[in-house]
Structure 1
Amino acid sequence: MAAARWALALARGAAPVALGLLLWVAVAGGEQDRLETLKALPEANPEVLAQRRRHNELIMAALREAAQTEENVARRPVPWQK
Protein backbone atom coordinates (compact mmCIF):
# COMPACT_ATOMS: atom_id res chain seq x y z
CA MET A 1 0.00 0.00 0.00
CA ALA A 2 2.76 2.46 0.91
CA ALA A 3 4.73 1.55 -2.20
CA ALA A 4 1.74 2.35 -4.38
CA ARG A 5 1.41 5.76 -2.70
CA TRP A 6 5.07 6.47 -3.29
CA ALA A 7 4.81 5.45 -6.93
CA LEU A 8 1.76 7.69 -7.42
CA ALA A 9 3.45 10.63 -5.67
CA LEU A 10 6.58 10.12 -7.75
CA ALA A 11 4.55 10.03 -10.97
CA ARG A 12 2.63 13.18 -10.00
CA GLY A 13 5.89 14.98 -9.18
CA ALA A 14 7.71 13.80 -12.29
CA ALA A 15 4.96 14.79 -14.73
CA PRO A 16 5.45 18.60 -14.42
CA VAL A 17 9.21 18.17 -14.56
CA ALA A 18 8.94 16.10 -17.72
CA LEU A 19 6.55 18.62 -19.27
CA GLY A 20 8.95 21.47 -18.46
CA LEU A 21 11.84 19.54 -19.95
CA LEU A 22 9.90 18.89 -23.16
CA LEU A 23 8.96 22.57 -23.46
CA TRP A 24 12.57 23.59 -22.86
CA VAL A 25 13.78 21.25 -25.60
CA ALA A 26 11.15 22.63 -27.99
CA VAL A 27 12.17 26.23 -27.32
CA ALA A 28 15.91 25.53 -27.39
CA GLY A 29 15.55 23.94 -30.83
CA GLY A 30 14.16 27.20 -32.21
CA GLU A 31 17.03 29.20 -30.73
CA GLN A 32 19.43 28.21 -33.53
CA ASP A 33 16.93 29.34 -36.15
CA ARG A 34 16.49 32.64 -34.32
CA LEU A 35 20.24 33.25 -34.22
CA GLU A 36 20.58 32.49 -37.93
CA THR A 37 17.73 34.87 -38.71
CA LEU A 38 19.40 37.61 -36.68
CA LYS A 39 22.65 37.15 -38.61
CA ALA A 40 20.79 37.56 -41.90
CA LEU A 41 19.09 40.85 -40.98
CA PRO A 42 20.08 43.94 -42.98
CA GLU A 43 21.14 45.67 -39.75
CA ALA A 44 24.13 43.33 -39.65
CA ASN A 45 25.47 45.12 -42.75
CA PRO A 46 28.74 46.99 -41.93
CA GLU A 47 27.51 50.13 -43.72
CA VAL A 48 24.37 50.32 -41.62
CA LEU A 49 26.38 49.71 -38.46
CA ALA A 50 28.79 52.51 -39.41
CA GLN A 51 25.90 54.91 -40.04
CA ARG A 52 24.32 54.00 -36.72
CA ARG A 53 27.66 54.44 -34.94
CA ARG A 54 28.12 57.90 -36.54
CA HIS A 55 24.57 58.87 -35.59
CA ASN A 56 25.19 57.82 -31.99
CA GLU A 57 28.42 59.85 -31.96
CA LEU A 58 26.54 62.97 -33.11
CA ILE A 59 23.88 62.48 -30.46
CA MET A 60 26.51 62.02 -27.76
CA ALA A 61 28.32 65.17 -28.95
CA ALA A 62 25.08 67.16 -28.74
CA LEU A 63 24.37 65.80 -25.26
CA ARG A 64 27.92 66.55 -24.14
CA GLU A 65 27.60 70.14 -25.42
CA ALA A 66 24.24 70.55 -23.72
CA ALA A 67 25.71 69.34 -20.44
CA GLN A 68 28.65 71.77 -20.64
CA THR A 69 26.64 74.93 -21.33
CA GLU A 70 24.01 76.84 -19.40
CA GLU A 71 22.19 77.67 -22.64
CA ASN A 72 19.07 75.68 -23.46
CA VAL A 73 20.20 74.01 -26.65
CA ALA A 74 16.70 72.67 -27.31
CA ARG A 75 15.55 76.26 -27.99
CA ARG A 76 18.06 76.88 -30.78
CA PRO A 77 16.81 77.32 -34.34
CA VAL A 78 16.44 73.98 -36.07
CA PRO A 79 19.25 74.07 -38.67
CA TRP A 80 22.10 74.60 -36.23
CA GLN A 81 25.74 73.76 -36.76
CA LYS A 82 28.41 73.04 -34.23
Structure 2
Amino acid sequence: MALDRRWPRALARGAVPVGLGLLLWAALAGGEQERQQPLKGRAGADAATLAHRRRHNELIMAALREAAETDDNVAQRGVPWRK
Protein backbone atom coordinates (compact mmCIF):
# COMPACT_ATOMS: atom_id res chain seq x y z
CA MET A 1 0.00 0.00 0.00
CA ALA A 2 1.60 3.23 -1.13
CA LEU A 3 1.87 6.24 1.13
CA ASP A 4 -0.50 8.95 0.03
CA ARG A 5 1.24 12.27 -0.69
CA ARG A 6 -1.34 14.15 1.38
CA TRP A 7 -0.38 12.47 4.67
CA PRO A 8 2.81 14.47 5.36
CA ARG A 9 1.02 17.73 4.62
CA ALA A 10 -1.90 16.74 6.88
CA LEU A 11 0.47 15.77 9.69
CA ALA A 12 2.34 19.07 9.35
CA ARG A 13 -0.93 21.03 9.43
CA GLY A 14 -1.92 19.20 12.58
CA ALA A 15 1.48 19.44 14.24
CA VAL A 16 1.97 23.19 13.72
CA PRO A 17 -0.90 24.30 16.02
CA VAL A 18 0.09 21.72 18.63
CA GLY A 19 3.70 22.92 18.52
CA LEU A 20 2.65 26.56 18.82
CA GLY A 21 0.42 25.70 21.76
CA LEU A 22 3.26 23.91 23.51
CA LEU A 23 5.59 26.86 22.93
CA LEU A 24 3.04 29.31 24.35
CA TRP A 25 2.42 27.04 27.33
CA ALA A 26 6.15 26.78 28.03
CA ALA A 27 6.56 30.55 27.74
CA LEU A 28 3.72 31.25 30.17
CA ALA A 29 4.48 28.46 32.63
CA GLY A 30 8.16 29.37 32.81
CA GLY A 31 7.54 32.38 35.06
CA GLU A 32 5.30 30.60 37.53
CA GLN A 33 7.97 30.24 40.21
CA GLU A 34 8.78 33.94 40.04
CA ARG A 35 5.09 34.74 40.47
CA GLN A 36 4.85 32.47 43.52
CA GLN A 37 7.74 34.10 45.42
CA PRO A 38 5.92 37.36 46.40
CA LEU A 39 2.89 35.37 47.51
CA LYS A 40 4.91 33.42 50.06
CA GLY A 41 5.99 36.55 51.90
CA ARG A 42 2.56 38.14 52.03
CA ALA A 43 0.98 39.45 55.18
CA GLY A 44 -1.34 37.06 56.94
CA ALA A 45 1.19 34.33 57.51
CA ASP A 46 1.76 35.24 61.17
CA ALA A 47 0.71 32.96 64.02
CA ALA A 48 -2.32 34.99 65.11
CA THR A 49 -3.86 35.01 61.64
CA LEU A 50 -3.22 31.31 61.18
CA ALA A 51 -4.82 30.56 64.56
CA HIS A 52 -7.86 32.65 63.60
CA ARG A 53 -8.19 30.81 60.29
CA ARG A 54 -7.82 27.46 62.03
CA ARG A 55 -10.59 28.37 64.52
CA HIS A 56 -12.82 29.59 61.70
CA ASN A 57 -12.32 26.32 59.81
CA GLU A 58 -13.12 24.34 62.98
CA LEU A 59 -16.41 26.24 63.39
CA ILE A 60 -17.34 25.63 59.77
CA MET A 61 -16.56 21.93 60.08
CA ALA A 62 -18.64 21.72 63.28
CA ALA A 63 -21.59 23.36 61.53
CA LEU A 64 -21.25 20.99 58.57
CA ARG A 65 -21.00 18.00 60.91
CA GLU A 66 -24.15 19.09 62.75
CA ALA A 67 -25.98 19.66 59.47
CA ALA A 68 -25.03 16.17 58.34
CA GLU A 69 -26.24 14.58 61.58
CA THR A 70 -29.60 16.35 61.88
CA ASP A 71 -32.77 16.02 59.87
CA ASP A 72 -33.52 19.75 60.21
CA ASN A 73 -32.89 22.12 57.36
CA VAL A 74 -30.10 24.21 58.85
CA ALA A 75 -30.17 26.58 55.88
CA GLN A 76 -33.59 27.81 57.00
CA ARG A 77 -32.45 28.79 60.50
CA GLY A 78 -32.36 32.40 61.57
CA VAL A 79 -29.38 34.61 60.84
CA PRO A 80 -27.93 34.97 64.37
CA TRP A 81 -27.25 31.25 64.48
CA ARG A 82 -24.63 30.08 66.91
CA LYS A 83 -23.64 26.65 67.96
Tell me the TM-score normalized by structure 2. 0.55
Question: Amino acid of the residue matched to residue 37 of structure 1?
Answer: P
| Structure with the higher helix share, 1 or 2 | 1
Q: Counterpart of 1:42 in 2: which secondary structure?
A: coil
Match of 1:31 in 2: 32
Match of 2:16 in 1: 15
Unaligned runs of 5+ in 2: none
Match of 2:51 in 1: 50
Tell me the TM-score normalized by structure 1. 0.55
Unaligned runs of 5+ in 1: none
| Structure possessing the higher relative contact order (Cα contacts under 8 Å, 6 or more residues apart) | 2
Identity among equivalent positions (%) equals: 59
Deviations 1:30-82, CA, capped at 9 Å, x for gaps: 211232232122233332111111122234445556756x7x8x448x5x7x7
How far apart, CA to CA, are the structure 2 residues paired with 1:59 and 1:43? 20
Q: Counterpart of 2:31 in 1: which secondary structure?
A: helix
Change in 2 beyond 3 A, CA 1:38/1:7: same
Question: Amino acid of the residue matched to residue 40 of structure 1?
Answer: G
How far has the Cα of 1:22 moved from its partner? Answer: 0.7
Change in 2 beyond 3 A, CA 1:8/1:59: closer
How far has the Cα of 1:16 moved from its partner? Answer: 0.8
Q: How many residues align?
A: 77
